[in-house]
């Protein structure tokens, strides 16, 4: 799927003004200006989000839903307002379709336990893809082992694109679920998820999208996509760690069993019977990450004010520029050349282990991720143990890309 297109030309970002909102970008690393290119792992928080967290912790901190005193009412209102903000951000039909979790991983596990354990059985099949993060592989393996189900895997081609024909060919009467990434964390490939969802739904098969790498970069409209579940994390979205979102269609969420038992997810409890609460509370047992949820609400306010279309356009410019610059470097190979990509650039340098690349780049102040990126099947597909990965955000600049290129040249000098 191409990134959502707007009839209005995205505004050009004032990147220097935006960078002023991020205190951490003023840091030096070993006497060199920080060039932060590890946004696919975690993005940075603007001062506006930091201030909102401080205000909550300083003047609003209390437990929610279970008291009538002023602080609890204020905290409850702020927490539920954050849910409404997230519902608007992804265009959910109803705010009760937005469940707060600890992150994408818990969101996927919630679906595995709540939906998979109830509706998937022996002989059933689950479709994943080669591009998946381990968080969208391991839970389904656990389910398959428990239930006697089978996992089918969509292959990718040499550019890192899913093979659509192979995906469609995997469907049969035993297919009961599809769980695929929207954007690859290791390669940046944007999957044609809208078409994939339509194909699955035509056969009565529900679809979960891992949106951890898509939500920070693309305008997400879950109603337009038609997905049954959408999962993403706050810490990749200029928000705090320890908070994430599971979107689910209300009717499906209502049919699911709870993932965790405890307080607030119940209407009544006796030793004879427990009556579960309505959604979304049925899936939010115990004291939730209140501050983090409120901080994530502030983060989507910040991103929405900038505009996701403008963010996507700026990041595409950075990706195009970085791809062209790295392509000029002898001995550097870009891994993942899909025609439709988000702002992720994985590469290897001939004769240099990616961990050494990351260590030497850090000496130049350049922060990148190295390793298998929790996507070992992708690495195996390309015959690699690891890559170096530069991942861009809307606060990055072409000058920082130039710093990356200069750092790569310095790495090559060390190893020649």
Check whether 32 has a pLDDT greater than 80: yes
Phi, psi of 246 (to 5 degrees): -115, 120
CATH 3.40.640.10 placement within the chain: 50-305
DSSP 364-382: TTEE-EEE-TT-HHHHHHT
**Which residue is catalytic, options 142, 334, 374, 406?**
374
Q: pTM for this one?
A: 0.95
Tokens of 192: 């044609």
Look at 395 and 66; give whichever has higher pLDDT.
395
Query: Sign of dihedral through CA atoms 67, 70, 73, 79?
Result: negative
Let me know if 238 is a catalytic residue. Answer: no
Per residue in 217-274, pLDDT tens?
999 999 999 999 999 999 999 999 999 999 999 999 999 999 887 777 777 877 888 8
Q: Distance between CA 154 and CA 182 in Å, rounded? A: 14
Per residue in 189-214, pLDDT tens?
999 999 999 999 999 999 999 999 99
Strand-pairing partners, residue 38, are 391
Burial letters for 304-336: b for 16+ Cβ neighbours within 10 Å, e otherwise? eebbbbbbbbbbbebbebbbebbeeeeebbbbb
Cβ(186)–Cβ(379) below 8 Å:
yes
CA angle (115, 250, 80) in 5-degree steps: 110
Burial letters for 25-64: b for 16+ Cβ neighbours within 10 Å, e otherwise? beeeeeeeebbbbbbbebbbbbebbbebbeebeeebebeb
Check whether 383 has a pLDDT greater than 80: yes
Per residue in 153-163, pLDDT tens?
999 999 999 99
Q: Distance between CA 47 and CA 18 in Å, rounded? A: 10
Q: Distance between CA 251 and CA 353 in Å, rounded? A: 49
CATH code matching the domain that covers 50-305, chosen among 3.40.640.10, 3.30.2090.10, 1.20.1250.20, 3.40.50.10280: 3.40.640.10
Query: Strand 35-36 to strand 366-367: parallel, antiparallel, or no bridges (unpaired)?
Result: parallel
Where does the pLDDT of residue 11 fall: very low under 50, low under 70, confident under 90, or very high at 90 and above?
low
Q: Distance between CA 192 and CA 226 in Å, rounded? A: 13
CATH 3.90.1150.10 placement within the chain: 15-46+307-414
Cis, peptide link before residue 280, omega less than 30° from 0: yes
CA angle (240, 244, 246) in 5-degree steps: 165
Q: Distance between CA 4 and CA 84 in Å, rounded? A: 22
Burial letters for 173-196: b for 16+ Cβ neighbours within 10 Å, e otherwise? eebbbbbbbbbbbbbbbbbbbbeb
Distances (CA, A) of 142 to 121, 174, 175, 242: 13, 18, 17, 23
pLDDT at 5: 42
SS3 state of residue 390: strand
SS3 state of residue 177: strand
Cβ(285)–Cβ(264) below 8 Å:
yes
H-helix or E-strand spanning residue 267: strand 266-269
Averaged pLDDT of the chain = 95
Per residue in 68-110, pLDDT tens?
899 999 999 999 999 999 999 999 999 999 999 999 999 999 9
Could you tell me the end-to-end alpha-carbon distance of the chain, in angstroms, rounded to an integer? 42
**Strand runs labelled E in 43-169:** 98-101, 125-129, 150-154
Per residue in 332-352, pLDDT tens?
999 999 999 999 999 999 999
415: left (phi over 0), alpha (psi -120 to 50) or beta: alpha
Strand-pairing partners, residue 367, are 36
Where does the pLDDT of residue 7 fall: very low under 50, low under 70, confident under 90, or very high at 90 and above?
very low
CATH architecture, domain defined by 15-46+307-414: Alpha-Beta Complex (3.90)
Where does the pLDDT of residue 10 fall: very low under 50, low under 70, confident under 90, or very high at 90 and above?
low
Q: Distance between CA 110 and CA 284 in Å, rounded? A: 10
Looking from the CA of 10 toward its CB, the CA atoms found within 13 Å total: 23
**CA torsion, points 288, 290, 292, 295, in degrees to nearest 10?**
150
């Amino acid at each position: 799927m191409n990134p959502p297109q707007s009839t209005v030309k995205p505004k050009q970002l004032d990147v220097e003004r935006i960078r002023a909102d991020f205190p951490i970008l003023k840091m030096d690393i070993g006497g060199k200006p920080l060039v932060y290119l590890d946004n696919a792992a975690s993005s940075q928080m603007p001062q506006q989000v930091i201030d909102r967290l401080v205000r909550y912790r300083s003047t609003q901190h209390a437990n929610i839903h279970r008291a009538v005193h002023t602080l609890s009412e204020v905290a409850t209102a702020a927490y539920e307002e954050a849910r409404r903000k997230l519902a608007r951000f992804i265009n959910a039909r109803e705010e009760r379709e937005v469940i707060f979790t600890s992150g994408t991983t818990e969101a996927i596990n919630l679906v595995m336990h709540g939906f998979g354990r109830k509706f998937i059985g022996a002989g059933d099949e689950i479709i994943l893809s080669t591009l998946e993060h381990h968080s969208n592989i391991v839970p389904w393996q656990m389910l398959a082992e428990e239930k006697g189900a089978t996992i089918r895997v969509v292959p990718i081609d040499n550019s890192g694109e899913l093979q659509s024909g192979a995906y469609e060919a995997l469907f049969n009467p035993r297919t009961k679920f599809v769980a695929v990434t929207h954007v690859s964390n290791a390669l940046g490939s944007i999957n044609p998820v809208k078409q994939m969802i339509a194909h699955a739904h035509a056969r009565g098969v529900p679809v979960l999208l891992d949106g951890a790498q898509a939500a920070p970069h693309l305008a997400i409209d879950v109603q337009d996509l038609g997905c049954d579940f959408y999962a993403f994390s706050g810490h990749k979205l200029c928000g705090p760690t320890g908070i994430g979102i599971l979107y689910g269609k209300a009717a499906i969420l209502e049919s699911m069993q709870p993932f965790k038992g405890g307080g607030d997810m119940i209407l009544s409890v006796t030793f004879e019977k427990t009556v579960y609460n309505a959604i979304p509370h049925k899936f939010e047992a115990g004291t939730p990450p209140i501050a983090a949820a409120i901080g994530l609400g502030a983060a989507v306010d910040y991103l929405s004010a900038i505009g996701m279309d403008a963010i996507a356009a700026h990041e595409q410019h950075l990706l195009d520029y970085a791809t062209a610059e790295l392509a000029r470097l002898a001995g550097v190979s870009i891994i993942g050349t899909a025609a439709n990509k988000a702002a992720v650039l994985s590469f290897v340098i001939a004769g240099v282990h990616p961990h050494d690349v990351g260590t030497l780049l850090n000496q130049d102040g350049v922060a990148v991720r190295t390793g298998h990126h929790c996507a070992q099947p992708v690495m195996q597909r390309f015959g690699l143990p690891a890559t170096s990965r530069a991942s861009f955000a809307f606060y990055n600049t072409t000058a920082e890309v130039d710093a990356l290129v200069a750092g790569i040249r310095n790495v090559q000098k060390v190893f020649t």
